[in-house]
A and B are shown apart, each in its own frame.
Chain A
Amino acid sequence: MNDMYGKGILKGLSVSLKRFIETYADDLKWIGKRYRTEEGIAHRSSKDGRGIFTIQYPEEKLPVPEEFRFVPLLVYDEGPDGEKIMRCTSCGICSRVCPPQCIWIVRSVDPATGRPFPDPAEFYVDADVCMNCGLCAEYCPFDAIKMDHDYELASFGRSLFDKARLAKPASYYETIRPVNSGRENAARAAKEAARSAAQAE
C-alpha cells in the first residue's frame, strides 16, 4: 500500500470528531429548547437532526404515531346519564381471529328468556399472551375492540385484563386515534342514515 498506514483510521476518527462537535454545536444553537421539549425531540429525529440522538426516557418520551398498537381496549359509548354502553356484541370474531388465542369471551344470557344478548358477561385479554398484532381490532365489525397506545404495562405478576380493565370511553379512543375514529364514526353515521331512510319509506 502506498498510503500511510493509519490514514483510514484517522479518516474514521474525523467522522467521530465531527459528530462530537456537532452535538455541542447543536446544543448551543438550541440552548434551552433541545431537551424535554416537543420540538427538540422532533428535531432530533428529523432528517436534519445531528449530534445527540437518544431520548432521555422516562423524562422524555417519543410521541407514538396514530397506528401504534399495544394491547387492545374495549370501547364504550357514554349514554345520556353517563352509563357505559359497550359497543361489543359478543360476536366472537376477535376471539376467533386472535393468533395466540388470548381473547376469552363469555356471552351474556338473558335470565328471563334464556336467549343470548349482546353485552359480554366476561371479556378477558390475556395481555401476557397477546402479541399486539392488531388483528382483533382490524376484523371487529362493530369498532368495539381497538388497540391502545399505553405501553407502560410492566407488572410483577401475570397481566390478565378483564372487562373493567379493558373498557375505555369512546372519547379516549378518539383522542388517541383521531383519523381512524373520524372515518369510522362517519361510516357508522352514514349507515344509520341509510337505515332510517329505508325505514321511513
Chain B
Amino acid sequence: MATPAPVAALNLSARFPGSVTADARPGYSGWIVEKGKLLEVTQALRDEFGCDYLSSVTGVDYLPEGKMEVVYQVYKTTGGPGLLVKVQVPRADPVEVPSVVSIYPGAELQEREIWDLFGIQFSGHPDLRRILMWEGFAGHPMRKDWKEAYYEEDGKPFKTRWPEGKHALAESKNPFGDNISYPAGFDPEKWIPEDAEKALYGALARYEVRDEAGLGTDHVIVNMGPQHPSTHGVFRIAVMLDGETVVSLKPVMGYLHRNHEKIGERNTFLMNMPYTDRLDYLSSMSNNFGYALAVEKLMNVRPPERAEYLRVMMAEMTRISNHLMAIGALTNDLGAYFTPMLYALEERELILDIFEAVSGARMMCNYFRFGGVARDLPEGTLQKIKDLFFERLPRRIDEIDRFLTENEIIRARGIGQGVLTAEDAIKYSAAGPLLRASGIPYDVRRAEPYSIYDRFDFEVCVRQNGDIYDRLMIRFDEIRQSLRIIQQAVKQLPEGPVAAVKPAYQVRVPAGEAYGRVEGPKGELGFYVISNGKPSPWRYHVRAPSFINLTAFGPMCTGQKIADVVAVLGSIDIVLGEVDR
C-alpha cells in the first residue's frame, strides 16, 4: 500500500485564512475553525483533502474559560493519522453549532449525544432529540457544573473515606431524588410527554397512506425491545412497517446509561482502568489497551518490549473471544438456536481461563497499567496459551466453520440481505468488521499502527458484498488472522520487565489532549482524554464502535423484512455496555 499523504501536514489555515487557526494551546493539536465556516471547512476536508471518514465527534465543556468546544476527528480511509478540527462557542445558552450531518451522516447519533449530554444544539440536524437520557430529563449531565445523584465531591478520592471513614450507605445518605433537578412542577412518576406519539415516533419516516380498491393502507409501528431476546441487551428498535417491509427504523437506547464519562471525570486516571472493562464487557482487554494508549501519549511513556507483546497477545485473544461470541449470537438470531452458540462459548471459556490466570478475572480484566501491564504471565500460562492457540483453536475454528458456513439456511438468510455498500459504510462512519465486510480494508492496526503491530505478519480481512453473510464470514477470517498474530507473538516473546515505570497509584499526567485508538473487535475504539495536570482527567470521552455502528442500522434495514432486522442487528455485533456507556 502506498503511504498516503499524512493528514496532519495539511495546512488548513492557508486554505481558509482568517477563519481557521492552528490550535496553539500547549499539548493540543489540530485546527480551530470559526463557527460560521464549519460546513465549508468540513466539506473541503471531505472533498478536497480526502478526509472521507468522520471518526468521532464530541463536546468539551471548558467551564473556567466560559467556552464549549466540539471536537471532530477525521481520517482518510486509505490510512494514516487523523486530523482534529474544533469549533469553539461561548458557554451561554443556547449554545449552538451547525450540524455536519449533511456532510458526514455518521455524525447523526453522536451529535444527538452531545446535545443530550452537553446541551449543544446542532442547527440543521434532522432529528435532534435526546438519545441516552429520557425525554423530559432536565439538564445536561456532562456539563462541568452538573451534579449527579449521589454526588459527593468533584473528584476522587473522597475525604469521607479516610482517616475518619465512618461508613454510611450511599443510598441512605442521598435518598433517591436528591441531587436531581427536575423542571418546576415535574413529577417523574406522572409525567407523560406532551405529544407522546411525536416524541417517540416522530422521527420515523411515514409512507404515503393509499387507498387501493377501497382498501385503505396504513403504517404499523412495532417496538422491538427493550425486553426482547434478539436485541442483545436492553435496547429498543422502533420500526415503521408497510406490511412486513421496513419503511423506517430508529434505534432507541440509553437503558444502560450510567454516565460512564462523567464517572471517568470524577475518577483519577488510574481508577478509570477497571471502569473501561465495563464498556464492551466482552472485550475488556481491548478497552484497557485504548485507554492506556491515550494516557501514555500524554505521559510520554512506552511500555517495555515484553509488555508490548503481552498486550498484543491479550488484545488478539479478546478479538477471538469476541468474534466467537458474535458468530454464536448471530447464528442464534438466524434461528440456529444455541448449538453453534454453545460450541463457540466452549472455546471462549478456554480463552477466559487464560485471562483469569493472567489478570485475575475472566471478563473484568483490568490488566493494563500506564507503561506496562499489571503482572507477568504466571507459571504455566504460556504453555496453556501454546496448547490453545497452536493446537486446539485452529482445529475448532475450522470445525465451527464447517458446521455453519455452507448451511443453506444461513446462506439464504445472509446472502444479499441487509446490504451496506462501501460508500454508505464510510458515510455512516461504520467501523471494524462492519466496514471491512463492505469492501473497505480499513484496520487501525495497519492504517495507523500502534504498539508493535507493525512487526506482525497478518492480513487486513476484507469482504466485498456488505451483507449479513459476509459479516459472518469476516469474523472467521479475522479469528484466523488473530491466531497468526498470537502465534508470532508467542514465538517472539522476549524476556524482561513488564512495567516501564515503578507502579504508582498517583500518576502525573501533563496537561494536554490525546486520542488513543485501537482496532477493537467491534471497530475503532478511541479514547479522547484531556488533562489539565490535575489527578482526574478534565475530559474523558469514549469513541464507542458499538454506538456509532448503529448509525447505519436504520439505512441497512430499510426495505428489508422485519424478520431480518434481528439478523442485521446481530451482524453489527453490539454490546449495550458500550452503546449506552
A residues whose Cβ falls under 8 Å from a Cβ of B: 5-9, 11-12, 15-16, 19, 45-48, 53, 64-69, 90, 92-93, 95-99, 101, 103-107, 116, 122, 124, 126, 129, 131-135, 138-139, 147, 158, 160, 179
Contacts and interface: CB of A to CB of B under 8 A. Distances in A.
B157 A65 contact: no
B166 A104 contact: yes
B395 to A, nearest CB: 9
Given A95-B162, A126-B167, A158-B169, A45 B353 contact: yes
A15 B399 contact: yes
Contacts of B152: 101
A48 B167 CA distance: 50
B171 to A, nearest CB: 9
A131 B360 contact: no
Nearest to A131: B274
B348 to A, nearest CB: 11
A47 B350 CA distance: 9
Contacts of A160: 167, 169
21 contacts: A7-B406, A8-B406, A8-B410, A15-B402, A45-B350, A47-B387, A47-B388, A47-B391, A65-B353, A67-B357, A68-B361, A92-B162, A95-B162, A99-B274, A101-B161, A104-B167, A106-B163, A131-B364, A133-B273, A134-B366, A179-B378
Contact of B163 (A65, A105, A138): A105
B314 to A, nearest CB: 14
A65 B352 CA distance: 12
A104 B360 contact: no
Nearest to A46: B387
Contacts of A135: 270-271, 274, 366, 505
Given A99-B275, A126-B167, A12 B406 contact: yes
Given A8-B406, A9-B408, A47 B161 contact: no
A90 B379 CA distance: 33
Contact of B360 (A90, A93, A147, A158): A147
Contacts of A101: 152, 156-158, 161
Given A65-B357, A92-B163, A138-B503, A53 B392 contact: no
Given A11-B406, A99-B275, A65 B378 contact: yes
A149 to B, nearest CB: 10
Interface string B307-323: 00000000000000000
B7 interface: no
Nearest to B387: A47
Nearest to B379: A179
Interface in B364-411: 364, 366, 374-375, 378-379, 387-388, 391-392, 399, 402-411
A87 B51 CA distance: 58
Size category, B interface: 35 or more
Interface in B147-188: 152, 156-158, 160-167, 169-170
B163 A104 contact: no
A66 to B, nearest CB: 6
B358 A15 contact: no
Given A6-B408, A45-B353, A122 B161 contact: no
A129 B275 CA distance: 13
B392 A47 contact: yes
A143 B345 CA distance: 37
A68 B161 contact: no
A72 B411 CA distance: 50
Contact of B161 (A5, A53, A96): A96
Nearest to B158: A101
A181 to B, nearest CB: 14
Contact of B165 (A16, A99, A106, A116): A106
A9 B409 contact: yes
Contacts of B405: 8
B267 interface: yes
Contacts of B387: 46-47
Contacts of B391: 47
B121 interface: no
A12 B392 CA distance: 19
Given A99-B274, A134-B366, A105 B162 contact: yes
B272 to A, nearest CB: 8
A12 B161 contact: no
Given A48-B392, A107-B163, 20 more contacts: A8-B406, A15-B403, A16-B403, A47-B387, A53-B346, A65-B357, A67-B357, A67-B375, A67-B378, A92-B162, A92-B163, A99-B156, A104-B160, A104-B162, A104-B165, A105-B161, A124-B167, A126-B167, A135-B271, A135-B505
Contacts of B170: 129
A104 B161 contact: yes
A101 B157 CA distance: 7
B161 A138 contact: no
A9 B350 CA distance: 27
Interface centre among A64, A124, A135 (most CB of B within 10 A): A135
